[in-house]
Amino acid sequence: MIKFIEPYFIIETKSLSYAIKILETGHLEHLYFGDKILETDLDFLHTKLSAKARGVIDYLEEKGKDIPLDLICLEFSSSGKGDFKLSPIELKMPDQSFVSDFTYQKHEMIEGILPSDTLPTPYDDEKNTKTLIITLKDTKFNIYIDLIYTTYYDVNIISRKTIIRNNEKETISLRKIMSMSFDIYGSNYDMLTLDGGAIKEAQKHITPIAQGTYINSSITGNSSYKHNPGVILLEKGTHEDFGNCYGFNLIYSGNHYTAIDQSSHGILRVMQGINPSMFEWDLNTNTSFETPTTVLSFSSKGLNDLSHHMHDFINKHIIPRQFKGVDRPIVINSWEGFYFDFNEKKLINLAKKAKSLGIELFVLDDGWFSSRNNDLSGLGDYDVNFKKLKHGLRGLSHKIHQMGMKFGLWFEPEMINPVSKLYEKHPEYAIKIEGRIPALGRHQLVLDMINPLVRKYIINEISKIIDDTNLDYIKWDMNRDMTDMYSKHIPNQGMFYHSYILGLYDVLSQLRKKYPHILIETCASGGNRFDLGMLTYGPQIWTSDNTDPIARLSIQKGISYFYPQSCISNHVSMSPHEQTLRKTPIDTRFNVSMFGVLGYELDFKLLNTFEINSIKKHIEIYKSYRHILQFGQFYRFNEDPKVRMNFQVSFEDTHVLGNYQVLAEPNPNLEILKIKNLNPTKIYDLKSMEQKLPLEKFGHLISHALPIKLNPNKALFRLISRFKQLDNATEEAHISGNVGMKGYKMQQQFMGTYYNEQTRMLGDFGSQIYIIKESR
Ligand code: DGJ
């Protein structure tokens, strides 16, 4: 899996190779990252230079031995020696210069993964990983860099991280150090990023790369919904099922940075790591600094295949092992149903109804503590609000457990309201700067996670509640970005952001160790911290506060480029939707939420009988396909997302396909349903899930379908519609894998003429689920 054939290193996964060459000067040349290669290829992969290039500096100007670093694809460059591509490192050296020159010194190979004491690290239960450590040394000073490569053979992932050691007598200032960097030839690439904001997370953007530097980063103190840390570099023309693409993601929850730099000779350098902005680490004598781990993959088969590598890696090596491959429960969360306005009775009624519908986990969201009747106060306090919960949390959890449901609770542990008991007692726990009025976000400040007393306080308070309630689940929320960054507990404020994240990881690791069975779902105003770092502590993340199924299609699609369905938490909520005012059918709300971890976030009392019956049926369906929906292989399609979208999951011989009509077209085209990943030689049974159509969908048109005339604005219409629904067309067919993959001809959609039971009635926001199973 890792070979050293002097002067070459080859790191291999099941279908990928990554090759490096030690140059005569000791610099490392990046030779290759792509589909598997032969050993004989190695001699031909290096940069072939035959004459001096104009305007280029030679590192070594011996006759016949010119080494122009700027023209070579490097594996990890230094600064100030003639490579003018963006450097992955910035150090103030003992001689006060910024010039560094790291060259090969030695290497070592070990079984497994190099552990870390402070940073989240993948694990390997199958003993399928190997690690290569290449040590570089600065040519002048005793400063060392370890480049660490781990191959995750089966899942086609290579991870990288960097450790820098200072063995000089002086402290040096580390201003930038990337977890990885490498160069490829390429002037034909685009960059795919997931950008957005609150309630519009993970919107896919494609940026063409030309000469210059392109950056995807966050500076909010978290990994941020403005720019997710995952980045794909794709050759022009690549789509979901075709083309060359490289994927990068960082196992980190703080300020991240990915740069793609295209040089004047068409070399593309890509690097990923901690954001160097406002970063300055004092590297004292005989100490080291370890970067977070970055995750790399490649596919020559397009974006779906690349995502499968990322998904398999997360399911097998990232999420806490207690939850590996374990089906996640269906949730009822109290937030959108009640917000802060609840009492024990309301909660119990909600739980009872949820239980009767088949829901398995009851989660009490924000508002159960202190003076928290709105978002003005209470964060930081953990005393239960007995006015709302007359038997306390223990009484509530006991009742929920007695019903046969699991009990979960919301916390926002990293935050404090200036109006809180904690702030009265310990104002110094909050992050702020003397002499400045701190900026507030949602009326709250951030707790100084660098302060060991703050960490101890959080762990103690949460532990008491876990013990008291026998808690099964935690929703770990975080609702504001950082400002006024300052902590007394570090010698240099350039260490602030990273030290905060180390503090957070410390708290999460301690709680995980103490309560390994607790299912943690992390959240940050929706998806403001959707990253691999958080996934090592909690296997699922609240994707977005936007639960409108149509808005959610692009959010879930975006997130799926890097993260599997088992991590994506989706809730069905009310219609019209609170953030978009869009009215959507209950079926579509489910049909979108089912592609991930399903939950409900509404007050069932506000639903009509038709919706309640639909939910009951949906939950039965979800349960029978849950494992496939959470752990199956997910496929995206190359469709026009303004008109129609499709999602598919495949697991063994079963495929579940969602077909979503975003907007209805008048007199539409006849359509096909393309199914992916079928065996061309097999026969499949295709069936669409039954759907009832509420009469309201048709308004006055209903008179054409029913034998009696009804006024849609009158009580009689409403009464009848409670009991009577029309049937939507269901489709059933036996098809070969080949036909399914080319496209099954669907039944006609409503064309503005007549309704009958064979007509698919979708309209705006309509959708259908297809189950495709191998015929027995
Ligand atoms: C933001 C989260 O995204 C919501 O789901 C909810 O938990 C609120 N915070 C509670 O304040």
pLDDT in tens, 522-558: 999 999 999 999 999 999 999 999 999 999 999 999 9
Angle CA 592–597–602, to nearest 5? 70
CA distance 518 to 27: 47
pLDDT at 173 over 70: yes
pLDDT tens for each residue of 209-255: 999 999 999 999 999 999 999 999 999 999 999 999 999 999 999 99
Mean pLDDT confidence for 662-675: 95
Give pLDDT, residue 132.
98
Mean pLDDT confidence for 657-672: 95
Q: Which of 689, 692, 255 is nearest to 494 (CA)?
A: 255
Judge if the beta carbon of residue 477 lies within 6 A of ligand 1. yes
Give pLDDT, residue 63.
64
CA distance 558 to 568: 11
Distance 194 CA to ligand 1 centre (A): 22
pLDDT tens for each residue of 687-742: 999 998 888 888 787 776 666 777 888 887 777 777 778 889 999 999 999 999 99
CA distance 597 to 437: 41
CA distance 141 to 26: 15
Atom of ligand 1 lying closest to residue 524 CA? 3
Q: Structure tokens of 165?
A: 């050691």
Ligand 1, atom 10: nearest CA belongs to which residue? 366
Q: Give, for ligand 1, the residue of 332, 477, 569, 572 to mutate: max count of ligand atoms closer than 8 Å to Cβ.
A: 477
Give pLDDT, residue 713.
81
Judge if the beta carbon of residue 521 lies within 6 A of ligand 1. no
Distance 341 CA to ligand 1 centre (A): 14
Distance 555 CA to ligand 1 centre (A): 17
Q: How many residues does the chain have?
A: 776
CA distance 744 to 746: 6
Annotated catalytic residues are 477, 545
Distance 530 CA to ligand 1 centre (A): 14
Q: Give, for ligand 1, the residue of 336, 363, 365, 529 to mutate: max count of ligand atoms closer than 8 Å to Cβ.
A: 365
Mean pLDDT confidence for 111-127: 96
Give pLDDT, residue 566.
98
Q: Structure tokens of 327?
A: 């089906």
Judge if the beta carbon of residue 479 lies within 6 A of ligand 1. yes
pLDDT at 640 over 70: yes
Judge if the beta carbon of residue 546 lies within 6 A of ligand 1. no
Judge if the beta carbon of residue 365 lies within 6 A of ligand 1. yes
Q: Which of 81, 131, 117, 86 is nearest to 102 (CA)?
A: 81
Mean pLDDT confidence for 63-77: 88
pLDDT tens for each residue of 469-508: 999 999 999 999 999 999 999 999 999 999 999 999 999 9
Other CB atoms within 10 Å distance of the CB of residue 703: 14
Q: Give, for ligand 1, the residue of 410, 473, 601, 602 to mutate: max count of ligand atoms closer than 8 Å to Cβ.
A: 410
pLDDT at 581 over 90: yes
The chain-wide mean pLDDT, for the chain, equals: 96
> Quick one: CA torsion of 762, 763, 767, 773, rounded to 10 degrees?
30
Higher-pLDDT residue of 53, 211: 211
pLDDT tens for each residue of 262-303: 999 999 999 999 999 999 999 999 999 999 999 999 999 999
Q: What is the CA radius of gyration of the chain?
A: 28
> Quick one: CA torsion of 220, 87, 259, 181, rounded to 10 degrees?
-110
Q: Quick one: DSSP state of residue 318? A: I
Q: Are 376 and 443 in contact (CB under 8 A)?
A: yes
Distances (CA, A) of 44 to 32, 546, 763: 10, 51, 58
Most confident region among 58-72, 432-446, 683-697 by mean pLDDT: 432-446
Q: Strands 227-235 and 287-290, how do they pair?
A: unpaired
**DSSP β-bridge partners for residue 227:** 195
Judge if the beta carbon of residue 525 lies within 6 A of ligand 1. yes
CA distance 646 to 635: 9
Q: Are 36 and 114 in contact (CB under 8 A)?
A: no
Q: Band of the pLDDT at 636, cuts 50, 70, 90?
A: very high
Distance of CA 157 to the CA centre of its chain: 16
Q: Are 526 and 225 in contact (CB under 8 A)?
A: yes
Distance 508 CA to ligand 1 centre (A): 19
Give pLDDT, residue 705.
66
Judge if the beta carbon of residue 335 lies within 6 A of ligand 1. yes
What sign does the CA torsion over 172, 173, 178, 179 have? positive
Instruction: Produce one character per residue of 336-362: b if its CB has 16 or more CB atoms within 10 Å, e if not.
Output: bbbebebebebbbebbbbbbebebbbb
pLDDT at 755 over 90: no
In 112-255, the DSSP E strands lie at 129-138, 143-152, 157-166, 172-185, 189-195, 203-208, 212-217, 227-235, 245-250
Q: How far apart are the first and last CA of the chain?
A: 40
Q: Give, for ligand 1, the residue of 201, 222, 339, 366 to mutate: max count of ligand atoms closer than 8 Å to Cβ.
A: 366
Atom of ligand 1 lying closest to residue 410 CA? 7
Distance 222 CA to ligand 1 centre (A): 16
Higher-pLDDT residue of 372, 702: 372
Distance 477 CA to ligand 1 centre (A): 7
CA distance 601 to 571: 6
3-state class of 566 per DSSP? helix
Q: Structure tokens of 410?
A: 């919301």
Alpha helix ranges (H) inside 415-572: 421-425, 452-469, 496-514, 532-535, 549-559
Ligand 1, atom 6: nearest CA belongs to which residue? 335
Distance 526 CA to ligand 1 centre (A): 7
Give pLDDT, residue 249.
98
Nearby residues of 112 by Cβ (< 8 Å), 6 or more positions away: 124, 127, 129, 130, 131
Give pLDDT, residue 697.
80
pLDDT at 756 over 90: no
3-state class of 310 per DSSP? helix
Q: Are 494 and 431 in contact (CB under 8 A)?
A: no
Judge if the beta carbon of residue 410 lies within 6 A of ligand 1. yes
Give pLDDT, residue 422.
98
Distance 649 CA to ligand 1 centre (A): 29
Mean pLDDT confidence for 117-123: 98
Judge if the beta carbon of residue 526 lies within 6 A of ligand 1. yes
Nearby residues of 337 by Cβ (< 8 Å), 6 or more positions away: 350, 601, 602, 603
pLDDT tens for each residue of 650-662: 999 999 999 999 9
Give pLDDT, residue 702.
75
Q: Band of the pLDDT at 50, cuts 50, 70, 90?
A: confident
